[in-house]
Amino acid sequence: MAATVTERSVSIRAGLSGTMATASGPHRVPCIVMLHGFGGHRDETGDLFKKLARRLAKQGLGSMRFDFPGCGKSDGEFADVTAALYERAAIAALRFAKSAPGVDPECIGLLGFSFGGAIAACLGGDAPRPRSLALWAPVGNPSVDMVESIGAERAAEAERKGSVAVPWGKGEIRLKRAFFRSLAELKPLESVAGFNGSLFVVAGSGDPLAKYVGEFHAAAKSARRREKRVIEGADHFFGATERRGGHVEPLLAATTDFLVSSLRAA
C-alpha cells in the first residue's frame, strides 16, 4: 500500500512560514530541511521542492520547506536580505524540524539550492548539524557569483547610494548596500571542509555554477561519504519550467536515493 502523503503549513517562528510534508507511519522519521534560492520561494521553480517533498514522503522521509524572510508567505521586506538574516532563518528551521512531532532528531538532512546552497554549506557555530547535506547548483563564491549575476554596476550603485533597483522576473527587487557587503561573510568551500556527514552536490553541465561541483566534493575532506554529479545538458534550474520536464527526473531520483540511503543508514 502506498504511503499517504500529508502536507501542513507551519509557523517556524514569528513571521517565518513553512510547509511540513510527512508520510503515514508509526515511527519517527528523518526530516530534510530545504533552503530555496535567491528571490525564490518554498516550492522552488517548477515546484522542484514540492515534487521532491512528495517523493521523499513516499519513501518514508519527512521534509520541511520554507520561505526566507521577505519571500513567499514569510514576513519582511526582501530589500532587507543579508547573509546573516538567511543564516538565522535556516537555523530556526533546522531547530523547528528537530523538535517537530514524529521526527527523529538524530536524522536531519539539509538541502540548499543555488544561493540557498551557499547558506546550507556555511551553517556552523550553534546551528544543528545535519547528517546529510545535499547541494543543488550551489553558489561557491558569493562575493563573485552573486555580483556577476546581479551586475557589478548595480552593486557599485548600491554601495554609493545605499540601495539599487534590480530587474527581477516581470518586476524588480531592491537590494541594499548591506546585502552586497554581507556576501563576504559566506565562505561555502571553506565551511564545507568541516562537515563530517554525507555530502551530495549536483549541477547541470549548462550552468556556470557546475564548476563548483568538483570543488565542493574535493573540499569536503571530513565527510564520511561524498557524491557528486553533473547532469549533462541541464541548466541552472534543471529545465524545471520546460513542458517535458527537462532534467528534473534524474535530479529528483539521484537526490532521493542519496537522502534515503544516507539518512536511513545513520
pLDDT in tens, 215-256: 999 999 999 999 999 999 999 999 999 988 889 999 999 999
Tell me the per-residue pLDDT of 204-216, one tens digit each, with 9 for 90 and over.
999 999 999 999 9
Quick one: pLDDT at residue 26? 67
- The residues, ordered by sequence, that sit 6+ positions from 91 with a Cβ below 8 Å of its Cβ are 123, 126, 127, 128
Kindly state the percentage of the chain with pLDDT values over 70. Answer: 97
- Against a cut of 0.85, is the pTM above it? yes
CA-closest candidate to residue 60, choices 16, 30, 98, 101? 30
Measure the CA–CA gap between 210 and 10, rounded to whole angstroms. 34
Place of cell 542519496: 258
Which grid cell sits at 62?
Answer: 519527512
CB neighbourhood size of 174 (10 A)? 16
CA-closest candidate to residue 33, choices 49, 46, 45, 48? 49
Q: Does domain 5-141+189-259 have CATH number 2.60.40.1220?
A: no
Q: Is 187 a residue whose pLDDT tops 80?
A: yes
Tell me the per-residue pLDDT of 142-173, one tens digit each, with 9 for 90 and over.
999 999 999 999 999 999 999 999 998 888 99
Report the DSSP beta bridge partners of residue 21: 7, 63
Q: Give the start-end residues of each E strand in the chain.
A: 5-13, 16-23, 29-35, 62-66, 103-113, 132-136, 163-168, 171-176, 198-204, 225-231
User: Could you say which DSSP state residue 113 is in?
Assistant: E
Q: Phi and psi for 142 in degrees, rounded to 5? A: -55, -40
Quick one: pLDDT at residue 1? 45
The one-letter code for the residue type at 10 is V
Radius of gyration of the chain (CA): 17
Quick one: pLDDT at residue 22? 87
Quick one: pLDDT at residue 163? 97
Measure the CA–CA gap between 57 and 21, rounded to whole angstroms. 7
Confidence of residue 174 (pLDDT cuts 50, 70, 90): very high
Measure the CA–CA gap between 21 and 39, rounded to whole angstroms. 22
Mean pLDDT score, 121-130:
91
Measure the CA–CA gap between 246 and 239, rounded to whole angstroms. 4
Mean pLDDT score, 45-72:
96
User: Could you say which DSSP state residue 231 is in?
Assistant: E
Q: Phi and psi for 114 in degrees, rounded to 5? A: 60, -120
Query: Does residue 80 sit in helix, strand or coil?
Result: helix
Tell me the per-residue pLDDT of 68-84, one tens digit each, with 9 for 90 and over.
999 999 999 999 999 99
Measure the CA–CA gap between 60 and 55, rounded to whole angstroms. 9
Quick one: pLDDT at residue 243? 83
